[in-house]
Amino acid sequence: MDILYSNTQTFLTNSKTKTNKMKNISKVIIAAAVVVFGSTSNTFAQASATASCAATIITPISISKTVDMNFGNIAVAAATSGTVVLSTASARTTGGAGGVTLPSTTGTVAAAQFSIAGQASYTYAITLPTNASLSDGSGHTMTVSSFTSNPSATGTLSSGGTQTLYVGATISVAAAQAAGSYTNATGVPVTVNYN
């Protein structure tokens, strides 16, 4: 009877040990499955895509002078000043205090003319100077101001990528302005830039 009891005890102890081992193995398998499936679900939650990258370099805008600005011959009264307005179409009119006249011998009269080149059909902004000073080289000066352009403010390049820009202005002539040829040593800067 003691032997039977002892064998039964041993069998029950071994069964419990095997059951505990099985439970522990099951726990390990479940934990491993959670880790595997958890990381798999994270992988499936991610997505990626790629985009191409490109750039286009356009033709640089350029400006070159083709005709210089010239107000032509001007006469002024001894006691009264005046102005001469040179239009973008190279036409002259007088103004100011009325002391200026335009002789029939006009001399060279021309609005400034520039050739613009760049990317076909692009628009560009035009920046004109505020004023410029003309000098006869002997200390006598005249001021040029109120610059205008055609096209005005914004130009549009042709389908061939060009356009002609005309610039006019107003010159102020003092009473009894000294006779002579007046020029601007630094030139009249006109700037263009793509919009």
Residue range 66-78, pLDDT digits in tens: 999 999 999 999 9
Tell me how many domains the chain contains. Answer: 2
Domain boundary among 9, 25, 54: 54
Residue 71, pLDDT score? 98
Residue 42 belongs to what H/E stretch? helix 2-45
The residues of the chain scoring below 70 in pLDDT are 1-43
User: Is the pTM above the cut of 0.95?
Assistant: no
Q: Tell me, yes or no, whether 46 and 20 share the same domain.
A: yes
For 21-65, what is each residue's pLDDT tens digit?
666 666 656 655 555 555 555 567 899 999 999 999 999 999 999
143 exposed, middle or buried (CB, 10 Å; 0-12, 13-18, 19+)? middle
What's the mean per-residue pLDDT of the chain?
88
Same domain for 94 and 171? yes
Distance CA 90, CA 110 (A): 5
> Do 67 and 50 fall within a single domain?
no
Do 81 and 137 share a structural domain?
A: yes
